[in-house]
């Protein structure tokens, strides 16, 4: 439902934050989704590959993805980056990564679990370090709560985080403008809005923009015959 900022500008903003962390000799933690987003971020940060530690399910996902080059946009670049980054294996390797690699890419993207929490815990007292989210943060997720309150909360622990936090918009979804463009080109009789936090509002906007189209936003359990 949102209108996304220009993608290139967001990629440049991510690189700028990485550069700032490196200039300060501080750490940048990037919590990521294992499939797709991790590999995308690795390609954006290709020139920093030898400064990157890769941890969590992103390792296994990257390994699997690289075995299917026919589905990759730039298989050679991704393969090259994956050869250069440091793959974290085990607790001792994780401690080494926290100390010697200024950029850490680790799951989970919303801080709902995974090794990203370990790195967050290690750097929580460093105000010039950065936590850079690159994906959507569900409202009740630890990641969303962290960026809004600077407090990390889970079922097991709670702690204050003094790092700088940013959210970079690298959304894999289309935005409001492009959704309207799809509707305009397809010219359907009915549009059913089923994904997102503001589906009812979006359905109303569709009918306002396209008076000949019926738009509905069903609730769980609703039946729609079209």
pLDDT reading at 1 higher than 90: no
Give the pLDDT confidence of 62-73 residue by residue, as tens digits: 999 999 999 998
Q: What is the pLDDT of residue 201?
A: 94
Global pTM reads: 0.85
Strands 86-87 and 130-133: what pairing? Answer: unpaired
Nearest to 125 by CA among 104, 144, 150, 149: 150
Angle at 17 between CA 26 and CA 84, to 5 degrees: 70
Lowest pLDDT segment from 9-13, 132-136, 168-172? 168-172
Whether the Cβ atoms of residue 175 and residue 3 lie closer than 8 Å to each other = yes
| Contact (Cβ atoms closer than 8 angstroms) between residue 170 and residue 37 | yes
Which pLDDT tens digit goes with each residue over 71-120? 998 999 999 999 999 999 988 889 889 899 999 999 999 999 999 999 99
Check whether 171 has a pLDDT greater than 60.
yes
Structure tokens at 122: 């290690």
In the predicted model, is pLDDT for residue 7 greater than 90?
A: no
pLDDT level of residue 226 (50, 70, 90 thresholds): low
Query: What's the pLDDT score for residue 160?
Result: 98
pLDDT at 217: 93
């Amino acid at each position: 439902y949102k209108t996304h900022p220009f993608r290139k500008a967001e990629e440049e903003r991510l690189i700028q934050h990485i550069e700032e962390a490196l200039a300060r000799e501080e750490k940048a933690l990037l919590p990521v989704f294992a499939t797709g987003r991790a590999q995308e971020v690795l390609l954006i940060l290709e020139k920093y590959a030898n400064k990157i530690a890769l941890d969590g399910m992103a390792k296994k996902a990257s390994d699997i993805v690289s075995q299917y080059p026919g589905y990759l946009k730039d298989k050679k670049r991704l393969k090259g980056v994956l050869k250069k980054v440091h793959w974290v294996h085990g607790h001792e390797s994780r401690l080494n990564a926290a100390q010697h690699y200024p950029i850490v890419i680790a799951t989970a993207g919303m801080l709902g679990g995974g090794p990203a929490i370990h790195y967050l815990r290690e750097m929580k007292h460093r105000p010039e370090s950065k936590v850079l989210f690159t994906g959507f943060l569900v409202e009740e997720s630890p990641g969303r709560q962290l960026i809004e309150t600077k407090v990390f909360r889970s079922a097991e622990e709670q702690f204050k985080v003094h790092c700088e936090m940013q959210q970079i918009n690298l959304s894999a979804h289309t935005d409001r403008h492009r959704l309207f463009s799809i509707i305009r080109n397809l010219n359907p009789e009915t549009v059913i809005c089923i994904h997102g936090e503001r589906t009812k509002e979006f359905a109303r906007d569709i009918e306002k923009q396209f008076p000949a189209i019926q738009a509905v936003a069903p609730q769980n359990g609703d039946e729609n015959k079209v």
